[in-house]
Amino acid sequence: MTTQLPKGFRLATINAGFRQTVRPDICLAVSDFPAVTAAVFTQAAFVAAPVIVAREQVRNGRPMRAVLINTGQANACTGEEGIANCRETLRWTANACGLQATEILPASTGVIGAQMKMDLWEKAIPKLAPKLGSASVKEFADAMRTTDAFPKFSGAAIATENGTITLAGMAKGAGMICPDMATMLCVVLCDALVPLDVWQRMFREAVNVTFNRVTVDGDTSTNDTVYGLANGASGVTPEGHDLSLLRAALEKILGELAYMLVRDGEGATKVLRIAVTGAADDADAEKVARTVGHSQLVKTAMYGKDANWGRIVAAVGRSGASFQAKDVRVSLCGVELFRDEQPVAIDFDALLEEPLQGRDIAIDISLGSGGGSYTLLASDLTHAYVDCNAAYRS
Amino acid sequence: MTTQLPKGFRLATINAGFRQTVRPDICLAVSDFPAVTAAVFTQAAFVAAPVIVAREQVRNGRPMRAVLINTGQANACTGEEGIANCRETLRWTANACGLQATEILPASTGVIGAQMKMDLWEKAIPKLAPKLGSASVKEFADAMRTTDAFPKFSGAAIATENGTITLAGMAKGAGMICPDMATMLCVVLCDALVPLDVWQRMFREAVNVTFNRVTVDGDTSTNDTVYGLANGASGVTPEGHDLSLLRAALEKILGELAYMLVRDGEGATKVLRIAVTGAADDADAEKVARTVGHSQLVKTAMYGKDANWGRIVAAVGRSGASFQAKDVRVSLCGVELFRDEQPVAIDFDALLEEPLQGRDIAIDISLGSGGGSYTLLASDLTHAYVDCNAAYRS
């Protein structure tokens, strides 16, 4: 995994004091050239001010020059004042960096319902701009963290006949948990020269099969945002096989970051890979995967290292997907536990004792009714999850 | 609350040794007269043998004479052998009591995937039948318990001009938790003389607004069953106002039992009453109530006595219901926390410190977009829930 910064981008981070920790809480990525931009936002009905502003910025497919991220204050449920504050931070950043405010994308994470500390912003930005070029991909990812246990970043380099294309992805998120870590944010920077429609399509497809297929606790946030900027600085226009490689690299990076989100899910000790096949269609497969992946009983059983096929089967049974009960087969860590409506007559507790100690747990469900499939990554449900989330906010 | 047994019913319980405790594990209710019967079963795709057999028994609206319940073995995922075993227990009971096997309704709860211990059944039933008339409503409910912390029963008496109608309801269930407590079972006995269609309609309606509106962990079981038998032994045919009173009494009893299920939800310390009003329609209101009631974040916040409006609002926002964000208002324990897309500017943490200590927590959500409404009872999510469910089965 390369952690090289793609050409034509500069990064900077600074501690503005939003969170009273020693870690930076603002990070800025600037492209030296206008970058074709893809953006995917939370589907929630209540969205944060930066999401409202960013949706407007990207509406007409305008190229973007920068991404400005802060932790410590989500700027969500803050009304008109919050939107005005968000725009103000973009103006300050534009002035400091010689950009237009409308070509900077904001993203925030932190406590919901409080206005941002604008005095701290005003002091920090003039100090942040001169630092551009000083931060690495890892340092940028580190500054995005809130309660994340580790920084999340990944990268890829694609050697073509015309030169090398580089990608870097940075993300934060550990479940939509307390209001002060309300968000999944991700930025992918790329120096390929790609048309807007091609980049947006491959980006959305990659998000769909990665970030949209993970769940920590089924909750989504007011601020969830994934940005992708391709600035063309490599001078390489990928076509044919190279374009496929770029698509694959993007999916790989987003997939790795999504896996890290689940692995770092609040209190998580396991990553459950729930693969449903043989469904009537993909939508049915998704229903089954999500019902299993959201089942508190399945999630606690996996935490307890319990080969509890009954809970998996019960979740499949109430998913609402269409299948014949007699055709359903369930495997755990590669051991078939259930078929013909009955548990398989083997000592699977003994067989699975070792595999269930591991971090990665495969749950394979075959419905035997068609060609639909879906795979979901889910975390387990643990004492530490309850610890974190039942603790009072203050 | 009366706990009187309706006329013309006799109850018995016995310890067959299924669970190696001192508590009885079989209970039998017999009506001296054929009783009009309503039955509501689990909607899960995988259903237990007793559900398969009982569905067949009640298919043609035949009157029933008895209900036979066992704990300790769910007889679920047991294939043809399980169905044959279930029928055999009904034959033995019929022989011992002078009934037809086809007029006895079975229900089971316990470990999934294991065949029933038929030798214990065969020994117990001849001893059980002579005990008919010896058990009270409370003792019957007590024998239905598995991991329930307390027996669940309720009753009502309706004085009419022509005599008194008596109802008694007994239930078990503490969430679809471990395989050895997999089920919600409920039996209502009534001595009114009511036509089958009237009884079945009022019973289904009462179940819909009570048992179908509670959630412990969103999981349902292979065995969930609610039976209602009305044997006419009071000689009273309720009509007009009396019929309304009967309907109300039935709803009250099922409502009380449903509340007890949530209160006894595995590890639960709270009963959340989530009332959604002003939805576009009832289905939309239900979507919101269920998204909030199933949110691990809301459930842990309530456990933590945290006036965390942000998690409630986030759940409303991702429910998929249609509304304008600006119209949504949220109250907790009667204190309005959120309106106009922002938290209300009061010190609600201080206001709510006392109310959030209590067991019953009211969450009121108004969507401002129509006349649809829905109320759901939900439990909180606690350390004890994880304790129970992460513990190994054996």
Point out the least confidently predicted range of A309-323, B2-16, B32-46, B205-219.
Answer: B205-219
Give dist(CA B229, CA B222) in Å, integer: 22
Point out the least confidently predicted range of A374-383, B58-67, B154-163, B167-176.
Answer: B167-176
- The CB density around residue A259, as the number of other CB atoms within 10 Å, is 18
- Calculate mean pLDDT across residues A236-256: 95
**Residue A385 contacts B where some CB pair is shorter than 8 Å:** yes
Can you name the residues that pair with A363 across neighbouring β-strands? A274, A332
- Res. B227: pLDDT tops 80: yes
- Calculate mean pLDDT across residues A304-330: 92
**Residue A19 contacts B where some CB pair is shorter than 8 Å:** no
Q: Quick one: how far is CA A180 from the chain centroid?
A: 17
Can you name the residues that pair with A153 across neighbouring β-strands? A170
- Res. B281: pLDDT tops 90: yes
Q: Between B297, B308, B323, which is nearest A217 by CB?
A: B297
- pLDDT for position B265: 82
- The chain A residue lying nearest B339, using CA atoms, is A77
Which two three-digit tokens encode residue A154?
């990944």
Torsion angles phi and psi, residue B129, rounded to 5: -55, -45
Residue spans of beta strands (DSSP E) within B116-224 = 152-160, 163-172, 185-190, 214-215
CB contact under 8 A, A177 and B325: no
* Ranges of H-type helices in chain B: 49-58, 79-97, 118-128, 137-144, 196-208, 241-263, 282-294, 296-303, 309-317, 348-352, 383-390
- Res. A265: pLDDT tops 50: yes
Nearest of B391, B389, B373 to residue B381 by alpha carbon = B389
Among A43, A46, A294, pick the best mutation site for testing chain B contact (most B Cβ within 10 A): A46
CB contact under 8 A, B314 and A176: yes
Which pLDDT tens digit goes with each residue over A17-37? 998 788 999 999 999 999 999
- Greater model confidence, B196 or B261: B196
Point out the least confidently predicted range of A177-181, A228-232, A320-324, B113-117.
Answer: A177-181
Residues B227, B106 contacting (CB under 8 angstroms)? no
Residues in chain B closer than 8 A to A222 (CB atoms): 314, 317
- pLDDT for position B221: 73
Tell which phi-psi region holds residue A7, choosing left (phi > 0), alpha (psi between -120 and 50) or beta.
beta
Residues B268, B149 contacting (CB under 8 angstroms)? no
How close, in Å, is residue B272 to chain A by CA atoms? 15
Residues B309, B332 contacting (CB under 8 angstroms)? yes
Give dist(CA B9, CA B181) in Å, integer: 27
Given pLDDT bands bounded at 50, 70 and 90, which one contains residue B173? Answer: confident
Residues in chain B closer than 8 A to A389 (CB atoms): 296-297, 300-301, 304
Give dist(CA B352, CA B306) in Å, integer: 9
> Taking the CA atoms of chain A, what radius of gyration do you get in angstroms?
22
Residues B385, B268 contacting (CB under 8 angstroms)? yes
DSSP structural state of residue B394:
-
- The mean predicted confidence, pLDDT, of chain B is 92
Nearest of B130, B162, B156, B186 to residue B14 by alpha carbon = B130
Active-site residue flag, A183: yes
In three-state secondary structure terms, B207 is: helix
Give dist(CA B202, CA B36) in Å, integer: 12
Residues in chain A closer than 8 A to B391 (CB atoms): 304
CB contact under 8 A, B46 and A391: no
Which pLDDT tens digit goes with each residue over A297-314? 899 999 999 999 988 998
Residues B206, B250 contacting (CB under 8 angstroms)? yes
Give dist(CA B137, CA B15) in Å, integer: 17
Which pLDDT tens digit goes with each residue over B334-370? 999 999 999 998 898 899 999 999 999 999 999 999 9
Given pLDDT bands bounded at 50, 70 and 90, which one contains residue A155? Answer: very high
Give dist(CA B311, CA B332) in Å, integer: 12
In three-state secondary structure terms, A256 is: helix
Give the type of residue at A134: S
B7 half-sphere exposure, CB direction, 13 A CA radius: 13
Give the type of residue at A344: V
Placement of tokens 């091609």 in the chain: A198
Which pLDDT tens digit goes with each residue over A81-99? 999 999 999 999 999 999 9
**For helices B282-294 and B309-317, angle between their N-to-C axes, nearest 10 degrees:** 130
In three-state secondary structure terms, B106 is: strand
If you count DSSP H runs as helices and E runs as strands, how many of each does chain A have, helices first?
Answer: 11, 15
**Residue A342 contacts B where some CB pair is shorter than 8 Å:** yes
In three-state secondary structure terms, A81 is: helix
CB contact under 8 A, B325 and A295: no
Which pLDDT tens digit goes with each residue over A180-192? 445 789 999 999 9
Which two three-digit tokens encode residue A248?
């694959």
CB contact under 8 A, A46 and B316: yes
Q: Which one is catalytic: A71, A93, A160, A183?
A: A183
Its sign, for the CA torsion A84, A86, A89, A90, is negative
How close, in Å, is residue B291 to chain A by CA atoms? 9
**Residue B303 contacts A where some CB pair is shorter than 8 Å:** yes
A68 half-sphere exposure, CB direction, 13 A CA radius: 28
Torsion angles phi and psi, residue A314, rounded to 5: -60, -40
- pLDDT for position A2: 67
- pLDDT for position A179: 39
Residues in chain B closer than 8 A to A217 (CB atoms): 295-297
- pLDDT for position A220: 67
- Give, for A57, the enclosing helix (H) or strand (E): helix A49-58
User: Please, which residues have CB within 8 angstroms of residue B34's CB and are 6 or more apart in sequence?
Assistant: B63, B64, B65, B103, B231
CB contact under 8 A, B217 and A46: no
Which two three-digit tokens encode residue A32?
């030296």
A145 half-sphere exposure, CB direction, 13 A CA radius: 21
Q: Between B47, B318, B386, which is nearest A383 by CB?
A: B386
Nearest of A13, A15, A42 to residue A221 by alpha carbon = A42
- Calculate mean pLDDT across residues B36-52: 91
* Neighbour-count burial of B80, counting CB atoms closer than 10 A to its CB (0-12 exposed, 13-18 middle, 19+ buried): exposed
* Ranges of H-type helices in A98-236: 118-128, 137-144, 196-208
Which pLDDT tens digit goes with each residue over B259-270? 998 888 878 899
- The CB density around residue B55, as the number of other CB atoms within 10 Å, is 13
Among B47, B77, B223, B365, pick the best mutation site for testing chain A contact (most A Cβ within 10 A): B77
Residues A219, A176 contacting (CB under 8 angstroms)? yes
Nearest of B170, B167, B169 to residue B191 by alpha carbon = B167
Give the type of residue at A305: K
Given pLDDT bands bounded at 50, 70 and 90, which one contains residue B393? Answer: low
CB contact under 8 A, A316 and B392: no
CB contact under 8 A, A385 and B323: no
A182 half-sphere exposure, CB direction, 13 A CA radius: 34
Residues A72, A142 contacting (CB under 8 angstroms)? no
Which two three-digit tokens encode residue A162?
């015309």
User: Please, which residues have CB within 8 angstroms of residue B269's CB and are 6 or more apart in sequence?
Assistant: B303, B359, B380, B382, B384
- Res. B197: pLDDT tops 70: yes
- Greater model confidence, B278 or A224: B278
Given pLDDT bands bounded at 50, 70 and 90, which one contains residue A215? Answer: confident
- Calculate mean pLDDT across residues B115-129: 97
Given pLDDT bands bounded at 50, 70 and 90, which one contains residue B218? Answer: low
Its sign, for the CA torsion A48, A54, A60, A61, is negative
A252 half-sphere exposure, CB direction, 13 A CA radius: 15
- pLDDT for position A180: 41
Given pLDDT bands bounded at 50, 70 and 90, which one contains residue B175? Answer: low
Q: Between A79, A222, A319, which is nearest B314 by CB?
A: A222
- Calculate mean pLDDT across residues B158-185: 79
* ipTM above threshold 0.90: no
- pTM (2 decimals)? 0.84
- The mean predicted confidence, pLDDT, of chain A is 91
Nearest of A218, A254, A16 to residue A117 by alpha carbon = A16
CB contact under 8 A, B317 and A45: yes
- Calculate mean pLDDT across residues A186-204: 97
CB contact under 8 A, B341 and A314: no
Q: Between A217, A305, A317, which is nearest B44 by CB?
A: A317
Give dist(CA A386, CA B301) in Å, integer: 9
User: Please, which residues have CB within 8 angstroms of residue A80's CB and are 6 or more apart in sequence?
Assistant: none
In three-state secondary structure terms, A225 is: strand
Residues A133, A11 contacting (CB under 8 angstroms)? yes
Give dist(CA A108, CA A128) in Å, integer: 17
Share of chain B above pLDDT 90, in %: 75
**Residue B314 contacts A where some CB pair is shorter than 8 Å:** yes
